[in-house]
Each structure stands twice: as C-alpha cells, then as structure tokens.
Amino acid sequence: MTDLNHIRNFSIVAHIDHGKSTLADRLIQLTGTVAERDMKEQMLDAMDIERERGITIKANSVRIEYPAKDGNTYVLNLIDTPGHVDFAYEVSRSMRAVEGSLLVVDATQGVEAQTLANVYQAIDADHEIVPVLNKIDLPASEPARVKEQIEDVIGIDASDAIEISAKTGLGIPDVLEAIVQRLPAPKGERNAPLKAMLVDSWYDSYLGVVVLIRVMDGVIRKGDQIKMMRTGATYKLDKLSVLRPAMKDIAELGPGEIGVFTASIKQVRDTKVGDTITHERKPCEKALPGFKPSVPVVFCGLFPVDSAEFEDLRDAIEKLALNDASFSFEMETSAALGFGFRCGFLGLLHLEVIRDRIEREYDIDLITTAPSVVYHLHMKDGEMRELHNPADMPDLTYIDHVEEPRIKATILVPDDYLGDVLKLCQERRGIQEDLTYVGGRAMVVYDLPLNEVVFDFYDRLKSITKGYASFDYQMTGYRQDHLVKMQVLVNDEPVDALSMMVHRDRAEMRGRAMCEKLKELIPRHMFKIPIQAAIGGKVIARETLSALRKDVTAKCYGGDATRKKKLLEKQKAGKKKMRQFGKVDIPQEAFISALKMDS
C-alpha cells in the first residue's frame, strides 16, 4: 500500500521526434527500474513497427520507484504517448488517467503544430504542465528563444523550464525532482466503493485480454468479482500486476495507482475504453464520464490477394481490433477483388500501420483500395445517407446534393517555404482563414476538404518544405460542394477499387492523370486495351494500351502478297475475339501506385 502523497501520475507529450521515448528510457534507466543488461532503445515501444519507424503508436505505461532528495520514496506512473496526429485519440485517453504532463520541446526546433495540439489536450484535462527543453547538447539549440516561443504561442510560464539532453542523460535528475515537487498527488478515498477507469486493453496470446486501469477510489485485489458498468459483464480477477515494463504481480491496487489485470476475458471488444470498473457486490453509485468515442475519418477496403486467405484475414483483423479501439471494420464484396473488409481509420498513418501489421504479423498479402472519407448524400425525398464507399453511390437523379467533410488545418512553416505551402493549399481547394508570424515562422490556418488531405497531402507538404513544416488538423463539419463519382474502366469493365469522388472542376485532370498512370502500370496483353475514366455515361479521358504482336508473316518469304494479307487478317480477327473474352490482370503494385496521384 502506497501513501497517496507519494504517488505521481504523469504523461509525456510532445511533437513527433522531440524525444519523448528517449526521455522515458532515461527515467527508467536512472531509477534502475530495468536492469542495465535488459535496457534497449525505445524501451516502451513494444511493436517492431514502432521501432522501425521511430514513432510511438500505442500509449504505454511504466511504474518507476524513485528515492527523492526529501528522503521519501515516490511511485511514479509514467504514460508515454504518441506524437502523431493520427493517434491523438491515444493521447486524450492517457491524459484522463494522470494528473500532470511533461511538455517536451526540442530546443533546436521550438514549438510545432503537434506540440500545440497535445498541450491543449493536457490543458483540457486540467493538467499541471512542466516544460522540458530537450536536445540542449546540440550546437543549434536556442533555449532562450524557445522559452520565449512557449510563452508566446502556448501561453504557459517557461521561465523555469528544465534544460536536458535525453540522449546523454544531462539534467535527468532535475526532471525527476520536478515531477515530485511540481506535479500534484492524486486524490481518492481508500474506504469508498471501488471505482476504476479502464484506460486501455490489449490481447495477449497467453493471458487473454490484459486491461490497464487507473484506480480512482477503493481498492482492487486479486480474486475480486468485478463488474464493467457500461457492458454489465462480471468477471473474477485472475492476476493483478504493475508494469515495470514487464508485468510484476501485486496483491492489491489502491486509489491513485495504475496497474493491469487479467480476468479470463475472451475479447477486447468486451472491454470498452473509458468504462468504469467496480465491485459486483458493492458497486459505486455513479460511473465515470468516459471518453468521447473515436470517429474514423478515412475508410478503405482491405482484400486478400489470394481469395483463399479470406478467413485468415478475418482472424487477423479481429485480433487487431482487439488491441485498437479506434479501428472499425465490416465485411464487403467487390466484383474485381472478391471478399474483403471495409475498414475505418483515424488517418493515413493509422491505415499504413494496420496494413503493415497484417502483412507482417499474419503473413497475408493485401490489396488496399483508394482511401475515401464519409460523404453525406441528401436525397430528393429529404432523406440523408452516409456514403462510405464511392462504388456504392446511387444514381445521380435521386440525389439533391452532396456534402463533404471539412477540416481546420494548422500549419507551422519557416518563412522561406510559405509561398509553396499557400500554393499547395489553394490547389487542394483550401480557404485561408488566418496567417500569423511567431518568431520567424508563419502559422497558417486553412479550411480544407478532408478528401484532398487523405491522399498524400502530408507527404507533399513535407517534400515542398524539406521536412520543416508541421501539420495538425481537426474536423469542423460538413459543407455542400459539386462532387461527382469518377469511375475507371479497363477494357470496358469498371474497376470498382479505383472509383473515387472528385470535384467536378478537377475531374478531367484527375481522370487523365489516372489513365496515363495505369497505361504505364498495366502490363501489355495480346490484345488492345482501352483505359477510360468516366463520370456517369460520359467518358472524360482515355488512353489505349497497344497489343503485343507476334510476327505471323515471318514464315512467308517471297511469293504472293495475298498470303501475308490472309495471315494478318486472321490475326486481326483473333485479337478482336480475344478482346471480347480476354481478362485483364491489373497487378497489385498498379493499384497502390495509381492511388498516389499528384506526385
């Protein structure tokens, strides 16, 4: 049992690559939580894909014990959060489980878009915030300028920001002291009925579902009968542990503590993130408010290349959905691709990560259709329908108008690249709302249509600004616009995986680019293949892929010309017949490359 005053719960928030995970490594190392021989880089990033890309995807937690200068030993519960805009949902729920945050800012780069987004989430959750300037050992670091920037842009006092280098370990003891001195202790009643918040859950092939909880009031012990208030399900606790990153068994968890339990729960779907856990016999009166559920913004179809692997894909997707509450899916069928799933994601990085995990962890080759967003179709009879897949668009005669989702994008960029960024946003049908200067950098706020952003906006933004721009967005709502469905026909057959919603003014340009791209990507066949882009019955662009020819006249030497003509006529008739019955194989790479449009 730990005294409440000797517990500190905190998270680390920062922009991508400002050094959250490295700082977490140093805190773990300095307090001897993990033996030196077991230490490795990015200690809390468990997935291979996190280590390879150098990003955090899942918020992970660890319990550290720290003997402070005042003679007491403190229990510190640290939650390392992702910095990427697609995983903001992981950040928001981690914030609700702790009382304070360390705001890490790179002393060479200053405040970035994601720094702002994550800090505002911490402020919303009523956190005490301690600013930390990282990478102070680099020659390009400017601590004084960055402190001023934190005060100007975010509006929190940075005069006593801690200057550290997470890589070399400089200043780490000061961080530990600041956590103990400046962050508040948790509140909670030990004798009240049990009230614990379900922060996260994941699937372990040996233990079943592992549930991460933060105890608000009361005590939870091994062997207790517990009840989930939202689902009403009851379970008996098998195992209660704290994470030091590995699980270490413990007899009980009191108020203010963070730990994990297993209770023979079969599916993560049975554990709703944000749910309240209480005792079955003596429940608490009122559940915790929970989190607002995450809303998927990007949809795409996932199909196995080999249709025999459909059941394996279903299994893989269900297991991933166990670990990821923000990923949704439903079955769909496609004429070209067979059986598959229509999946919802929080953004393109989220989509890439899920796709990579399925291909790696379950060894299934996938075809991914064009990412699309949810449109609102207002029908002429007054009904409003949601359109997730452009292939399902009803006949235009029934539709009154179409609305598309809009976002408010905040882009921070050095002055030199401002012109290029404004041009990119204008090309993507953006409406400029604001432009301000903050310490040598411009902050642009744009109202953009989401479907122009989901393709490759982020990659383009990074390439035109040499990686210096940072970007963050939030959904603002729906607005009517002149949108049409563009279909791609190969050999007069519609390829539904390539149909997409485009703005009428840009449809011809998009169609022409798509046809030209497919002409390069589809291998030549023995017959001529027309590639067309069409809106309704009207073809707006066309390319023709010429046939491979066999020289049928090779055996004719000399003699009458009618012999050659006869052979060529016969070949022509054969090709015509082939074109009627021939099937065009579109390779997997062609799908993926065709969707990376504007490059």
Phi, psi of 430 (to 5 degrees): -85, 155
Q: Is 18 annotated as a binding-site member?
A: yes
Q: Is 136 annotated as a binding-site member?
A: yes
Contact 291, 200 (CB under 8 A): no
What value, to the nearest 5°, has the Cα angle with vertex 592 and ends 537 and 503?
40
DSSP string, 226-266: EEETTT--EEE--EEEEEESEEEE-SEE-TT-EEEEE----
Contact 358, 327 (CB under 8 A): no
Contact 599, 457 (CB under 8 A): no
CATH assignment of 298-368, among 3.30.450.40, 3.30.70.870, 3.30.420.40, 3.30.565.10: 3.30.70.870
| Whole-number pLDDT of residue 123 | 80
Q: Does domain 375-481 have CATH number 3.40.630.40?
A: no
Contact 16, 83 (CB under 8 A): yes
Q: Which CATH class is domain 486-496+504-595?
A: alpha beta
| Whole-number pLDDT of residue 427 | 85
| Whole-number pLDDT of residue 44 | 47
Contact 348, 450 (CB under 8 A): no
Percent of the chain residues past pLDDT 90, beyond the cut: 0
Q: Is 22 annotated as a binding-site member?
A: yes
Q: What are 80's two structure tokens?
A: 């390392």
Q: Is 419 annotated as a binding-site member?
A: no
Q: Is 21 annotated as a binding-site member?
A: yes
Q: Which residues contact residue 428 at a Cβ distance below 8 angstroms, ignoring those fewer than 6 apart?
A: 448, 449, 452, 453, 457
Helix (H) or strand (E) holding 425: helix 418-427
Contact 236, 56 (CB under 8 A): no
Q: Is 271 annotated as a binding-site member?
A: no
Q: What are 460's two structure tokens?
A: 């383009």
Fill in the amino acid letter for 431.
Answer: I
Query: What's the residue count for the chain?
Result: 599
Sequence-separated contacts (24+) of 351-356 with Cβ below 8 Å:
351/298, 351/300, 353/49, 353/57, 354/320, 354/324, 354/327, 355/302, 356/49
Give every strand in the sheet of 73-80, ordered side by side. Answer: 60-67, 73-80, 7-13, 100-106, 128-134, 162-163
- pLDDT tens across the length of the chain (599 residues): 667 788 888 888 877 777 777 787 777 777 766 655 555 555 544 455 544 555 544 556 788 887 877 778 888 888 766 655 555 566 666 777 788 888 888 888 877 767 777 787 778 778 888 888 888 888 888 888 888 888 877 778 777 888 888 788 788 888 888 888 888 888 888 888 888 888 777 777 777 788 888 888 888 888 888 888 877 888 888 888 888 777 788 888 888 888 888 888 776 667 777 778 888 888 777 777 766 666 777 788 888 877 788 888 888 888 777 666 677 888 888 766 778 888 888 777 778 788 888 888 888 888 777 777 888 888 888 888 888 777 778 877 888 888 888 888 888 888 888 888 899 888 888 888 888 886 667 888 889 888 887 766 777 887 888 777 777 777 788 888 888 888 888 888 887 777 888 888 888 888 888 888 888 888 887 778 888 999 888 898 898 888 777 777 777 777 778 878 888 888 778 777 766 666 666 666 666 566 555 44
* Domain locations in the chain as residue ranges: 4-182, 195-279, 298-368, 375-481, 486-496+504-595
Q: Is 279 annotated as a binding-site member?
A: no
Same fold, 195-279 and 486-496+504-595: no
Fold exhibited by the domain 4-182: Rossmann fold (3.40.50)
Fold exhibited by the domain 195-279: Elongation Factor Tu (Ef-tu); domain 3 (2.40.30)
Q: Is 522 annotated as a binding-site member?
A: no
